[in-house]
Amino acid sequence: MSQKEIAFNTSIQDHDLHEWRMICHASSLIMLIGIPYGNLIGPYIVWRLKRDEYGEIDTEAKDLLNFQILISMITTFLFICIIALEVLITLFNMLPSTQILFAIPIFTLILMILLIDVFFVVRQCIAIHENRQFQPYPLLYRFVK
């Protein structure tokens, strides 16, 4: 193989890696179109398909999955809290204004958490697009090792 062919094959591999990294991170935004736990499904599929082929995908997808699992657990817990509060308010015949008093702050917290999630995913996609180094996601607990 000539130097030109080797360089061409290497640039194709780099381009494929670049695309798969972008797809991996951007696929976690599937939740924005209303698919429950879509933020986990997309990155998991990319990770399972490409983890053996690209070491970077393995590392980045695991970090992304760990971050998305944490986000999903927090938002699920908050939704359960809203449901529990609704049940308690109904059982104790509290005023409807009490529902608003509890539900609005929890919904606001959920919205803030989802905005933080989108911020970090978009920041990572921009870094990949600009060929910058991977920036680990914050608050990681290693669910996927």
Is 145 within a domain? Answer: no
Is 142 within a domain? Answer: no
pTM score of the predicted model? 0.83
Is 72 within a domain? Answer: yes
Query: In 3D, which of 101, 30, 113 has the Cα closest to residue 76?
Result: 113
Domain of residue 66: give its range.
3-129
Per-residue pLDDT of the chain (145 residues; tens, 9 = 90+): 544 444 444 566 688 888 999 999 999 999 888 888 999 999 999 999 998 998 889 999 999 999 999 999 999 999 999 888 888 877 877 766 666 777 788 889 999 999 999 999 999 999 998 888 877 888 777 888 7
Is 140 within a domain? Answer: no
Is 51 within a domain? Answer: yes
Q: What whole-number distance in Å separates Cα of residue 90 and Cα of residue 105? A: 19
- Do 46 and 61 form a contact (C-beta atoms < 8 A)? yes
77-86 burial string, b = 16+ CB within 10 Å, else e? Answer: eeeeeeeebe
**Which sign does the torsion angle of CA 14, 20, 24, 26 carry?**
positive
Residue 47, Cβ neighbours under 10 Å: how many?
19
- Total of domains in the chain: 1
